[in-house]
Amino acid sequence: MLNNLFIEIDQHYDEMVNMRRYLHQYPELSFYEYKTAAFIAEHYQRLEIPYQANVGGNGVVATLTGGKPGKTIALRADFDGLPIQDEKKVEYRSKSQGVMHACGHDGHTTTLLTIAKIFKQYKEVIPGKIVFIHQHAEEVAPGGAKPMIDTGILDEVELVFGTHLWTNTPYGVVQTAPGNFMAAADKFTIKINGTGGHGGIPHQTKDPIVIGSQLIANLQQIISRKLDPLATAVLSIGTFHAGNAYNVIPDSAIIEGTVRTFDLKLQRFIISEMERIIKGTCHSYDVSYHFDYQKGYPPVVNHKEQAAWIIEAAQQVSEVKKAEMVEPSMTGEDFAYYLERKPGAFFFTGAQIEDGFIPHHHPRFDFDERAMKIAAKTLISAVYRANQ
């Protein structure tokens, strides 16, 4: 049976490419994915699979009851885009100004919709119930997962699986991990309130650029000098905004960054150290400040048994050259909320294009579309493995 389903995926590949490229041309930002949600809902309406729209926001959830006894298993895909101008020179380049699918969510959506279509064709021999979760707003905290879960979509679910098309990983490779897989992803903003003035008379100012530069250097020492070298954490500065003229010292500076951790105790320690260092640095320059720390998604923690099932499932797929357990990634994902509620696992499907590596969230991001077949087959195989 599994082989028949795999053949169906192969036969639907051209359709998958067309669907993915259509979605790629019409991305929508997190929490504003109205047309994409309608596209997904219409797909299930045509298939005559019962579905709910506007779940926890723009989410869509469909449920297929198979003809064989088995578990209730949820499969999840996200469908929001990013505020990035598409710079690819391809015919399916985004037509939405300043918005693009720069993380593969169009491929995730296509994969899940295709699985649903094939499962409907083979409904009588599909085990258990399959819950297709199409989640909005993964890219922007607080995200779409939690409000969707709060509506009760997981109440009857026994297991949950999801994948991310991953261009850091070569095509043909499937990766996961038992336990920690992706990090908690937090955001912070620091505003330094200095005193501006003439660039040629700096002694009459309290220069927030100099203070901010010193503060950034001090904050980096939390990771390098305050943590056990074997501890896993990241503190990165992403933006530093100050001033608008070359010869004017500004009144203020704003610094933004992210902290990534797996351990909540370590997270609390880093926040405490940041507060101490920010206060001390600003006090030494006699300026005030405002520190805002926003906790983002919790870490993605796979359940060990289900992570092992993913490896076994991927090994059933002929296109998979390697299925491996890997070290955790410091990227974040709100799939974490599903795994806090139900057993399951998240995995990477290698999607690196043949002529070079383009990172996620890049204006020229693209992925090897053949990876959608591997993602679909591995998820289908995981459903069957879970029902053994």
164 annotated binding-site participant? yes
Q: Which of 78, 80, 366, 369 is catalytic?
A: 80
24 annotated binding-site participant? no
Active site residue 138: yes
282 annotated binding-site participant? no
- The whole-angstrom separation of Cα 169 and Cα 200 is 51
Q: Is 359 exposed, middle or buried (0-12, 13-18, 19+ CB in 10 A)?
A: exposed
Q: In which residue are the tokens 């579905």 written?
A: 51
303 annotated binding-site participant? no
Measured from the Cβ of residue 230, the count of other Cβ atoms closer than 10 Å reads: 5
Does the bond joining 208 to the residue before it have cis omega, within 30 degrees of 0?
no
**Beta-ladder partners of 134:** 60, 77
Query: Which residues, 6+ apart, have CB-to-CB distance to 188 below 8 Å?
Result: 256, 257, 258, 259, 274, 291, 292, 293, 294
Q: Is 200 helix (H, G, I), strand (E, B) or coil?
A: coil
- The whole-angstrom separation of Cα 332 and Cα 103 is 12
In what helix (H) or strand (E) does residue 160 lie, and over which residues does it extend? strand 159-170
Q: Is 3 exposed, middle or buried (0-12, 13-18, 19+ CB in 10 A)?
A: exposed
Q: Which of 33, 106, 138, 186 is catalytic?
A: 138
Q: Is 308 exposed, middle or buried (0-12, 13-18, 19+ CB in 10 A)?
A: middle
Active site residue 327: no
DSSP string, 163-198: EEEEEEEETTEEEE-SEEEE-EEEEEEEEEE-B-EE
Q: What six digits make up the tokens of 46?
A: 């045509």
Strand order across the 252-261 sheet: 233-241, 252-261, 184-193, 288-297
- The whole-angstrom separation of Cα 279 and Cα 192 is 11
139 annotated binding-site participant? yes
User: For 31, left (φ over 0), alpha (ψ -120 to 50), or beta?
Assistant: left
Of 298, 232, 240, nearest in space to 270 by CA: 232
Could you tell me which residues are annotated as the binding site? 103, 105, 139, 164, 361
Catalytic residues, by residue number, are: 80, 138
Could you tell me which residues are annotated as the binding site for Mn(2+)? 103, 105, 139, 164, 361
